[in-house]
Structure 1
Amino acid sequence: MDRGFPIACLSAAFAVAALHAPRAQADEVTIYRCTDARGNTTLRDTPCAKGQQQETRSMVRPKDAPNRVVDTAPEPRQQPAPPPTRTIVLAPPQPMYECRMPDGNTYTSDSPEGNPRWVPLWTLGYPAVSDGYYRPGGTRIVRHGDGTVDVNVDGGGYVHGPVPTIAGYGGGTWVRDECHMLPPSETCARLRDRREEIGNRFFNAQPTEREQLNREQRGIDARLDNDCGGH
C-alpha cells in the first residue's frame, strides 16, 4: 500500500466507492487521491477536479462470505403422554335361578335354595297310624323296604303289617321349592324386563314404595353393567 493512501482513509473511500461503483465493475473499485493547491488531500471515487494533483489506486472489493447453511434436522415431534391406565375390576356374573312352587307357578331368586314351606310328613310318603294303634308319646314307626311297618305302642309291643287306613296325621317338616339356574342371556333379559316393570309402576307408587323401587332399580342397573355389558 502506498503511504499516500492511509488505511483509514482508504477504508472510508472504499466504502463510498463501493456504493457508487458501476454494476458491471462491482468487483473492482478505483480510488482517487486529490490534492489541491493548499495541500489539502481528499479521497473520492471520481476523478479529481481540474488543477488538483491526482493519484489513483485500483482495489478489489472484498466479497462477503457465503451464508452458512446449517442443516438443522427438525426437532422430533413430542408425542403426547399416554393417558393414565385405568384398572376396572368386574365381579363374576351373579347367577339367577327360577324356582317352581307346588301349584306350578314360578318365581326368580338369587339363591339356588327355594322358599321354604311346611308340609305334613304323610305328603312325602311317610306312614300314619290309625286310631287303634296310636298312643301319644309312645308310638314308634319302623318302615321296611317291602312297604310294611312295625308300630310300637306303649305296653302293646310291635304290631307288624301294612297300615290299612290313614286316620291320624303325624308331624311335618320344612321343604324348599325346587330351583334351577337360568342361562346368562335369559338372566339379562329378565333383569331388563324387571327394570321396565319398575319404570311403569313408579309414577303410580306411593313415596315409600318409590324409595324401594329406586333402590331395586339401582341394583338392577349395576348388575346389568357388570354382567350384561350395560343397559
Structure 2
Amino acid sequence: MCWQLMRHTGYLIALLSWAGLAHAEPVVFYRCTDAQDNLTVQNQPCPKGMRQQKKIMQGVSSAPLPPEPATKRPPPAASAVAPPVVATASPTTTAEPAPVAAPRPPPPALYSCTTREQQRYTGEVAEPPPRCIPLPTQGLDGSPDRAGGSACEVVHDQCQALPSDGLCAAWQAYVAEAETHWRFAIPEHTEALREEFQRRQQLLQASDCATSP
C-alpha cells in the first residue's frame, strides 16, 4: 500500500512545489479508501462509497535547518602588565589571504522513469531493479492451475536523466515528495519514510542548490 500511495500522490507534489517551497499556502488532501482497501490521495473530496479522511497541511519546505546558536566565549582573563619592550625593526611580512570556502558540488543526478503501465516517477538510479509481474497459469488440460504453480514476466522501467539546468527544482520537488509520503504514512511505515525524507533533504542542502538564488 505504501508503494501505491507513492504512485498516486505524484501530481499533488507538483501543487506543493508550484505554491512555493518557502512560503506555501495550506493545501487540503483527501485520503480515499475503497471497499478493497485501495488507498488514493487527492485534492478533491472522495467519491461516494469510499471512506474519506481529510487533512490540511502547510506547503512543504526544503529551506535549510536553522543554524546552531553560537557558543558564548568567556571574556579573556586580565593579564599582568608586562614591562615595556624596546621595539626592533622586523622584515615586512605580507598578510596571508583568508581561506576561501570550497564551492559546493551540484546535486546528484535524478531520472524520470516510466513503468510498463505508463506510470511516471522520479528516482536516483538510471536502471531500477526489474519487476516480476505474475502471469496466469494453466493445467495440462487447459484449465486454470490451482495446484500452486506460478509464473511471472520480468519487466524493466524506462528511465531518462533529467536536464542539469532544472536539477535544483527537480530535487526540491523530490524532497517535497518524500515529506508528503512521510506525513501521510501509516504508523508502521512512518519511521522509514521519515529517514528517507531526511536523507534527501541532506543531499539537497549539501549541494550548490542551497546557495542558488
TM (norm. structure 1) is 0.35
TM (norm. structure 2) is 0.37
Greater relative contact order: 1 or 2 (C-alpha under 8 angstroms, separation 6 or more)?
2
Q: Which protein has the bigger strand share?
A: 1
